[in-house]
Copies of this chain bind each other. A is one copy, B any other.
Amino acid sequence: MPSEPTAPQQRMRSAERRRQILDAAIEIVGRRGYYGFSVQEVAARCGLTVAGVLHHVGTKDQLLLALLDERDRRDAEAVPGLLASEEGERPGLARLRALVARNSTQPELVRLYSMLRTESLYEEHPAHGYFLARERRVLALFARCVAGEVGEEEAGPVARQLLALMGGLEEQWLRSGRSFDLVEQWDLAVARLLPAAGR
């Protein structure tokens, strides 16, 4: 419905506006997933028209992908090398712990990935490919992180186990209203799973 001409529409610079839109989308998609969120809602949160939002992001699907890219970009910027492992450096368990620690400060982000990871199990989900590739990459990274602790043929399964643990604990953490300390529980789990490494 044509609304009253509202407060003098402040025009933003494109980059700024885009960031604002992606922020809003991250939060909303984190809550209700791809299928449950609407461009309308993003628009409302930004004080924009639906058409206004689309002007910046193109399409609902593109918005989703843009949002994932943006997250990756920001993460790479904020904690360089946390998820990457290009060089010859040998990441260890500390790396995994750092990851958990960082996530524990960003529940919103955790929500987003939880949501989309599960939703994208469906082959036609727009982020299906993204998360398939991501999981492969992450499993490989985790395997390298534990390479020093376990035998070669065990690295794969243990990486699986750690990834499962991480995701599962995060989900419980969210559902419980973050009523427990995520890092602490992670440490307990790792101590059990890789007892030799603790020392």
Copies of this protein chain in the complex: 4
Q: State whether the Cβ of A192 lies closer than 8 Å to any Cβ in chain B.
A: yes
Report the contact-size class of chain A (Cβ under 8 Å from the partner): 35 or more
Q: How far is the CB of A121 from chain B (nearest CB, A)?
A: 5
Hey, which chain B residues are within 8 Å of A174, CB to CB?
121
Q: B121, A188: Cβ atoms under 8 Å?
A: no
Stretch from A71-79, A84-92, A153-161 at the B interface: A153-161
Interface positions, chain A 168-196, Cβ under 8 Å from B, are 168-169, 171-172, 174-175, 185, 188-189, 192-195
Q: B157, A161: Cβ atoms under 8 Å?
A: no
Q: Contacts A55-B1, A171-B167, A172-B135 given: A192-B161 contact, CB under 8 Å?
A: yes
In terms of DSSP, what is the predominant structure of the interface of chain A?
helix
Q: State whether the Cβ of A58 lies closer than 8 Å to any Cβ in chain B.
A: yes
Q: Contacts A14-B2, A115-B121, A167-B164 given: A132-B175 contact, CB under 8 Å?
A: yes
* Residues 117-133 of chain A, each 1 if its beta carbon lies under 8 Å from chain B, else 0: 11101100100000110
From the candidates B119, B163, B193, name the one contacting A168 in the complex (CB within 8 A): B163
What 9 A-B pairs have minimum CB-CB distances, sorted nearest first?
A164-B168, A35-B36, A35-B35, A118-B118, A1-B58, A168-B168, A167-B168, A161-B189, A164-B169
Contacts beyond the supplied A1-B56, A33-B36, A157-B185: 12 A-B pairs with Cβ under 8 Å: A31-B121, A32-B122, A33-B119, A115-B119, A117-B118, A119-B119, A121-B174, A158-B192, A160-B172, A163-B168, A164-B189, A167-B168
